[in-house]
Amino acid sequence: MEENIIGINIRRLLVERDMKQSELARKVNVSPQVMTQYISGTIMPKAFMIADLAKALECSSDEILFEPTLAPTHTTYDGKGGMADGEEARELDTKTRRGALMKLRHEIDDLLDDD
């Protein structure tokens, strides 16, 4: 099971800024229940919400999206019908995650540029 990096990062940023979850929810115009679901990983915020969260927390979207290390936590397939392990798995998994996160980051940047 993958970690909820977005929720972990939101929680960390709240602590660093001495901000309450309810205050952040109010700033981004969601209910406290929805904010709890973002932080717990029950639901994932959409790209526009990541942009709103970054603004409200006065940070970059990267600080919300990216984990400090991209170590794999699940089986990785090598794309050739086999399983990768060790360093090869870590490299493949990192590329996959980075690709998905970079795509999301570009969407967020596009939303921020529209403002």
How many Å apart are CA 39 and CA 79, to the nearest integer? 32
Reference 20, options 8, 38, 35; nearest CA is: 35
Question: Average pLDDT of 41-47?
Answer: 92
| Domains of the chain (ranges, CATH numbers) | 5-113 (1.10.260.40)
**pLDDT for 71-97, tens place per residue?**
334 444 444 544 445 555 555 555 666
Could you tell me which of 34, 87, 93 has the C-alpha nearest to residue 67? Answer: 93
User: Mean per-residue pLDDT for 41-66?
Assistant: 92
Mean pLDDT, rounded, of the chain? 78
Specify the pairing of strand 83-84 against strand 76-77.
antiparallel
Single pTM value for the model:
0.60
